[in-house]
A and B are shown apart, each in its own frame.
Chain A
Amino acid sequence: GAGVSQSPSNKVTEKGKDVELRCDPISGHTALYWYRQRLGQGLEFLIYFQGNSAPDKSGLPSDRFSAERTGESVSTLTIQRTQQEDSAVYLCASSSNPGGLPYNEQFFGPGTRLTVL
């Protein structure tokens, strides 16, 4: 079946512009995660959705970052007034994990590479 997809695959934007990154999880997966990977660093957790709710937003780095999920499916990560330090690969993952269990496998998308000039 189809895996996790993300769009766009690459995004180049100018400092100060807003960007939207999209994630389509595996159908039926209730849990959805966003992570960020900056150059030379590991993946950083950003936000966790269970259904359409986000019980854990602890990783969002500033109030310029927001995310939503609709229909227990598609999620959008929005970055307002982008800064150069926002340049990174943004990864989405989904999991059939209705209880937020800590040992369920996460399935990752290919990522969106964001470059802020």
Chain B
Amino acid sequence: AQSVTQLDSQVPVFEEAPVELRCNYSSSVSVYLFWYVQYPNQGLQLLLKYLSGSTLVKGINGFEAEFNKSQTSFHLRKPSVHISDTAEYFCAVSDFSSNTGKLIFGQGTTLQVKP
């Protein structure tokens, strides 16, 4: 079984500052890793995903994440945030050998960007 832990429930940050949202996972099998974002009053949308290859993955809106297998982490970063980045961010995994594609999610981190 897999589990995902997002270490911070809320992250307040000032506009143009860098941000890191932390995600750790636990799994006895290989997994694929995802970050989804939910803007206010909208559905979740995919921000980025790690399947294989380079451990640094770039996504939309200037976000990137780094897969660290030894630390079982997949932290999300952005060097300079905007007000419009205010949203809830979800880290998720899927089992490498899954034949359903179901996702296991963390609890979510609310990013609050202040002017």
Contact = CB atoms under 8 A, between A and B. Distances in A.
Interface of A: 3-4, 31, 33, 35, 40-45, 48, 50, 55-56, 59, 91, 93, 95, 97, 99-111
Contacts of B57: none
B11 to A, nearest CB: 16
A56 B44 CA distance: 22
Interface in B39-53: 41-46, 49, 51
A42 B99 contact: no
A105 B47 CA distance: 10
Nearest to B32: A103
Interface stretch (B65-73, B77-85, B104-112): B104-112
A98 to B, nearest CB: 11
Contact of B101 (A3, A4, A91, A101): A101
B21 to A, nearest CB: 14
29 contacts: A4-B43, A31-B101, A33-B101, A33-B103, A35-B105, A40-B9, A42-B4, A42-B6, A42-B106, A43-B90, A43-B103, A45-B102, A45-B104, A48-B100, A55-B100, A56-B102, A93-B44, A100-B98, A102-B101, A103-B32, A103-B94, A103-B101, A106-B46, A106-B103, A107-B43, A107-B45, A108-B45, A110-B43, A111-B43
Interface of B is mostly: loop
B101 A97 contact: yes
B14 interface: no
A50 B100 CA distance: 8
Contacts of B108: 42
A7 B5 CA distance: 30
Given A48-B100, A100-B101, 16 more contacts: A33-B102, A33-B103, A35-B103, A42-B106, A43-B105, A55-B100, A95-B101, A101-B101, A102-B94, A102-B97, A102-B100, A103-B51, A103-B101, A106-B103, A108-B36, A108-B43
